[in-house]
Amino acid sequence: MPRVTDPTAPHIALVGATGVVGTTLLRLIEERGFRYRGLDLVASARSAGREVTVEGHSCRVQDVDGFDFAGVDIAFFSAGAGVSRTFVPKAVAQGALVIDNTSAFRMDPGTPLVVPQVNAHVLGTRPESGVVANPNCSTIPLVRLLRPVQERWGIRQVVVSTYQAASGAGYSGVEELRAGARSVLDDPDSAGVTGTFSPSLAFDVIPSIDRLLDDGFTFEEQKMLQESRKILELPHLDVTTTCVRVPVANSHSEAAWIECHEPVDRGELVRLLAGQDEVTVHDLDTVGAFPTPRTAGDPNRVHVGRVRVAAHNPRGFWLWIVADNVRIGAALNALQIAEELTRRGAL
């Protein structure tokens, strides 16, 4: 059981405990046996007072407005950037180390932006800001594959189209997709259901995620560029993206074109990717095999398929990538940060 009496184990708090990432993080703590001596579940006033079962015991959700972080060693924040900007400074001031799953602090120079399989070395000491940032859900699987490619061949350019699931917008996104699908099936002329998404996501795709910026790109697309550069420590890396919401309940997909400085051998590339931690290459043995959000398999792994080196430009190749955006892209990465901090004694 993860809960222990060991005084060296951390006391943890989960802010956003009733959301899709928070509830997944609770499951992962139990699945992976992450040891803790105390646990506080925290959320907005709307969810405060709710009872949640953890390891067979009932836990009451506390209101973030009045929560005291004194005595908390690790505080996971997954309640939106606004909540993080308001309450993370309070948590840090009261002594907690924050692992933040929002965009609030990712580009802060004093805050490490971490994917443990890529840049765990930055977790050797407690960050001065008191915060470790969790990257965007589409950035995480991408940089996990870019790192070994950069080390072997060097990267000249990356072009990515994402196919992002409704769960990227939380429980409300999935519920709205289901309600909209029922509405359109009942009446093909229906406009579907809007609110979280506009237009309705049911039987449609929306090539715009997050707010539109002055240059015509969206904030989601900007995040993938800036975060990839910071994580890989490549400040001039050329990454351009089109981020698209698709009518899939869970798991994001990406089509990535990667152009290197040197010619790439497909066999070597496939073996290189297959050798990465927690990566499954589906066409390792069968050329052209691919994962899908429904069929990929283990949700705790990055899934890759359709690995294609271009005959007309052997420095470039395509990857088809599928990853559970709630686990790989959020909760699991956050927990692996905590595991690494604990292992390194950086708390």
Active site members: 137, 252
200 labelled binding-site residue = no
46 labelled binding-site residue = yes
Separation of alpha carbons 94 and 72, rounded Å: 8
How many CB atoms within 10 Å of residue 9? Answer: 17
How many CB atoms within 10 Å of residue 289? Answer: 14
Secondary element (H or E) of residue 310: strand 302-310
Asked if residues 249 and 326 have their Cβ atoms less than 8 Å apart, the reply is: no
Calculate the alpha carbon distances from 113 to 157, 175, 183, 233 in Å. 21, 31, 41, 10
Rounded to 5°, angle at Cα 170 from 164 and 244? 20
168 labelled binding-site residue = yes
21 labelled binding-site residue = yes
SS3 314: strand
245 labelled binding-site residue = yes
Alpha carbons within 13 angstroms on the beta-carbon side of residue 185 total 7
SS3 161: strand
The b/e string for 236-253 (b: 16+ C-beta within 10 A; e otherwise) is ebebebbbbbbbbebbbb
Would you tell me the crossing angle of helices 139-153 and 219-232 to the nearest 10 degrees?
40
- Eight-class DSSP state of 91: H
106 labelled binding-site residue = yes
167 labelled binding-site residue = yes
47 labelled binding-site residue = yes
Asked if residues 304 and 291 have their Cβ atoms less than 8 Å apart, the reply is: yes
Nearest to 133 by CA among 173, 164, 168, 92: 92
- Both structure tokens of 84: 């993080």
Residues contacting residue 207 through CB under 8 Å, at least 6 positions apart? 242, 243, 244
134 labelled binding-site residue = no
Separation of alpha carbons 342 and 283, rounded Å: 36
Separation of alpha carbons 326 and 141, rounded Å: 12
Whether a cis peptide bond, with omega within 30° of 0, leads into 116 is: no
Binding-site residue ranges: 18-21, 46-47, 106, 164, 167-168, 245, 325
* Binding site members for substrate: 164, 245
